[in-house]
Amino acid sequence: MDNLGRRELMSWQFDLTWSLFEYHLDRLEPEDFLWEPAAHTWTLHPDGSGGWTPDWADTEPDPIPVPTAGWVSWHLAWWLGTATDHLLGRPPRERADIRWPGAGEPAVTWLRGLREEWTAAVAELNEADLDRTAPFPWPNDPEHTVAHLLAWANAELMKNVAELGQLRLVRAASQVSRT
């Protein structure tokens, strides 16, 4: 790959996608996070003790609910945190242990912290590490390597950035009067 190794290329792609995410992170308002764009949504609910509980189903419903920006931010943190745990060889976070910090700056700061943790973990990998069997999201499947995990994370990030950005844009546009 010319002078760029696989890890560097995947890191570059992650950083490029994250730079597009920053456009939306800088513009998210606290009200954006729990805005429900449709009657059938997945969101986060106060749990009575100052925390939040995400909507979830082990089998995706049909039709799939439209997520809120808050739910997308929680979901992004769940998979990115879990993927980071696997890269670092530590016990992965359980879905129920992913604590969304709340709308606005707390969520934005939380996501940026997870990005720093991910990029530091990826920076520790060498080319040989990329050929190891991926521990996540395909446990013990020799067909999928750590390089596949990095590519999957980039694709998942692109999807979540597009979802969150679109939700922010639709909410902002819905606030503009049609005069």
Place of tokens 């190891």: 132
Q: Which residues contact 85 (CB under 8 A, 6 or more apart)?
A: 91, 92, 93
- Is residue 1 over pLDDT 50? no
Q: What is the mean pLDDT of residues 100-107?
A: 97
Task: Indicate whether 2 pLDDT > 80.
Answer: no
Q: Is residue 90 part of a domain?
A: yes
Q: Is a pLDDT exceeding 80 seen at residue 166?
A: yes
Average pLDDT (105-109) is 97
Q: Is the pLDDT of residue 66 over 80?
A: yes
| Residue 91 DSSP code | P
**What φ, ψ does residue 177 adopt, rounded to 5°?**
-75, 150
Residue 4: pLDDT band (50, 70, 90) is low
Domain assignment of residue 59, yes or no:
no
* pLDDT given at position 159: 97
Query: Residue 175 has what pLDDT?
Result: 87
What pLDDT sits at residue 31? 97
136-154: per-residue pLDDT in tens? 888 778 899 999 999 999 9
Q: Rounded to an integer, what distance in angstroms lies between the CA atom of residue 36 and that of residue 67?
A: 8
Q: Look at residue 53 and tell me if it is in a domain.
A: no
For the chain, percent of residues with pLDDT exceeding 90: 86
Residue 41 backbone phi and psi in degrees, to 5: -130, 160
Has residue 124 been placed in a domain? yes
Is residue 53 a contact partner of residue 44, using CB atoms and an 8 Å limit? Answer: yes
Determine the Cα angle at 118 with ends 114 and 120, to 5°.
Answer: 115
Q: Is residue 163 part of a domain?
A: yes
The residue segments making up the domain with residue 91 are 6-31+68-172
Please check whether residue 58 lies inside any domain of the structure: no
**What pLDDT sits at residue 3?**
59
Residue 60 lies in a domain: no
pTM for this entry: 0.93
The count of structural domains within the chain is 1
Position 114 in a domain: yes
Distance CA 34, CA 67 (A): 9
Mean pLDDT, rounded, of the chain: 93
Question: Cα separations (Å) of 18 from 21, 48, 49, 108, 154?
Answer: 5, 33, 32, 12, 9
Please tell me whether residue 76 adopts helix, strand or coil conformation.
helix
For the domain that residue 164 is a member of, what is the CATH number?
A: 1.20.120.450
- Collapsing DSSP to helix, strand or coil, 52 comes out as strand
